[in-house]
């Protein structure tokens, strides 16, 4: 029995490398975004090298068909790996903002708190990790000229929620305590709401809105709840704002909750 050709061994190794990249990508929940991108690039190189090793990349019945065939194969492999990457690409997790993110965030807030709101930053009473994350935003709002309370408000809410919410005064307390779907008017196109929404959207976070009848007049609270699985997924508030500002058209978005 003759020994296997070196080309066959190399092709087998390349196919195996490509499959290994695919298997590793499906563990993307434990990988960083950089790790996913590296695996995608390695997978594309491995698969194209294996195809080239077999001679499939350039073989075509007519000379004019060779570049067309090669282009189609390259696009197909790249598109396939890109689709896999899109399905497993991990969301941005909460983190301490770097200098560029802080600068971008503050750019949406500068000179926007007129007339002035008293701003509170709040978090769950017993979640130190969430409160530590929220605390960095006190400085960002303060540096942007907002009248922000210097300490974090630790709260226990009657209706628990995850993600980040803008909370404004509104609603009938007695009615809201008796009705699970009780809500209030929420000014989705108000300048302060839009500024805060755009600032968080610039760091890939979609925030929601809520009303609190016990909140003092001219006060805005930004409540940081537990992290959502993917905080870049649109919320009721972000969809409503997109409709009001003309980013999306058609009927007013159907709400799944009341503010």
Rg (CA), the chain: 26
Q: Flag whether 255 is in a domain.
A: no
- pLDDT, the chain, mean: 83
- Same-domain pairing of 65 and 174: no
- Same-domain pairing of 80 and 119: no
Q: Flag whether 14 is in a domain.
A: yes
- Same-domain pairing of 61 and 125: no
Give residue 152's pLDDT.
93
CATH assignment at residue 201: 3.30.70.2390
CB 209 within 8 A of CB 259: yes
Q: Between 205 and 35, whose confidence is greater?
A: 205
Give residue 196's pLDDT.
95
Q: How far apart are CA 35 and CA 26, in angstroms?
A: 12
- Same-domain pairing of 106 and 233: yes
Tell me how far apart the terminal alpha carbons of the chain are, to the nearest angstrom. Answer: 76
Residue 48, pLDDT above cutoff 60: yes
Q: Flag whether 259 is in a domain.
A: no
Find the range with the poorest average confidence among 15-29, 135-149, 173-187.
Answer: 173-187
- Same-domain pairing of 156 and 71: no
Give residue 60's pLDDT.
67
- Same-domain pairing of 142 and 226: yes
Residue 31, pLDDT above cutoff 60: yes
Confidence of residue 5 (pLDDT cuts 50, 70, 90): very low
H or E element that contains 157: none
What distances in angstroms separate CA 128 from CA 8, 35, 59, 122, 159, one per listed residue?
57, 29, 62, 12, 19
Give residue 3's pLDDT.
43
Kindly state the average pLDDT of the residues 40-50: 88
- Same-domain pairing of 60 and 143: no
Give residue 57's pLDDT.
74
Give residue 93's pLDDT.
85
pLDDT in tens, 173-232: 565 656 556 566 677 888 899 999 999 999 999 999 888 888 888 899 999 999 998 999
Q: Flag whether 94 is in a domain.
A: no
Q: Flag whether 207 is in a domain.
A: yes
Kindly state the average pLDDT of the residues 122-140: 94
Category of 219 on φ-ψ map: left (φ > 0), alpha (ψ -120 to 50) or beta: beta
- Same-domain pairing of 161 and 210: yes
Can the peptide bond before residue 115 be classed as cis, meaning omega within 30 degrees of 0?
A: yes
**Could you tell me the pTM of the whole model?**
0.71
- Token readout for 104 is 């971008």
- Same-domain pairing of 110 and 228: yes
Q: How far apart are CA 103 and CA 112, in angstroms?
A: 15
- Same-domain pairing of 132 and 166: yes
Which of 55, 88, 121 delimits the end of a domain? 88
Category of 72 on φ-ψ map: left (φ > 0), alpha (ψ -120 to 50) or beta: alpha
Residue 63, pLDDT above cutoff 60: yes
CB 116 within 8 A of CB 218: yes
Which of 50, 67, 88 delimits the end of a domain? 88
- Same-domain pairing of 117 and 34: no
Give residue 174's pLDDT.
61
State the chain's maximal CA–CA distance in angstroms. 89
pLDDT in tens, 64-116: 677 788 888 889 889 988 888 888 877 788 999 999 999 999 999 987 766 67
Which of 38, 67, 88 delimits the end of a domain? 88
Q: How far apart are CA 22 and CA 39, in angstroms?
A: 8
| Residue span of the structural domain in which 40 resides | 6-88
Give residue 180's pLDDT.
57
- Same-domain pairing of 235 and 147: yes
Q: Flag whether 254 is in a domain.
A: no
Task: State the total domains in the chain.
Answer: 2
Confidence of residue 165 (pLDDT cuts 50, 70, 90): very high
Provide the percentage of residues in the chain whose pLDDT is more than 90: 33
- Token readout for 123 is 């978090």
């Amino acid at each position: 029995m003759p020994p296997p050709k070196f080309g066959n061994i190399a092709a087998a190794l390349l196919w195996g490398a490509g499959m290994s990249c695919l298997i590793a990508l499906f563990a993307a929940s434990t990988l960083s975004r950089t790790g996913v991108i590296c695996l995608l690039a390695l997978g594309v190189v491995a698969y194209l090298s294996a195809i080239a090793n077999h001679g499939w990349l350039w073989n075509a019945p007519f000379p004019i068909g060779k570049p067309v065939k090669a282009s189609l194969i390259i696009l197909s492999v790249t598109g396939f790996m890109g689709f896999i990457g899109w399905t497993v690409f991990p969301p941005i997790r909460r983190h301490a903002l770097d200098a560029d993110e802080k600068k971008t965030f503050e750019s949406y807030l500068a000179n926007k708190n007129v007339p002035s709101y008293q701003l509170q930053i709040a978090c769950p009473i017993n979640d130190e990790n969430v409160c530590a994350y929220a605390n960095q935003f006190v400085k960002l709002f303060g540096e942007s000229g907002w009248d922000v309370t210097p300490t974090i408000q630790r709260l226990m809410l009657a209706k628990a929620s995850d993600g980040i919410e803008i909370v404004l005064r509104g609603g009938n307390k007695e009615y809201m305590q008796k009705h699970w779907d009780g809500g209030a008017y929420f000014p989705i196109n108000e300048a302060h709401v839009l500024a805060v929404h755009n600032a968080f959207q610039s760091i890939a976070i979609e925030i929601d809105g809520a009303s609190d009848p016990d909140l003092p007049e001219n006060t805005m609270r930004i409540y940081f709840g537990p992290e959502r699985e993917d905080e870049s997924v649109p919320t009721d508030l972000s969809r409503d704002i997109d409709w009001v500002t003309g980013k999306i058209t058609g009927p007013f978005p159907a709400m799944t909750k009341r503010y």
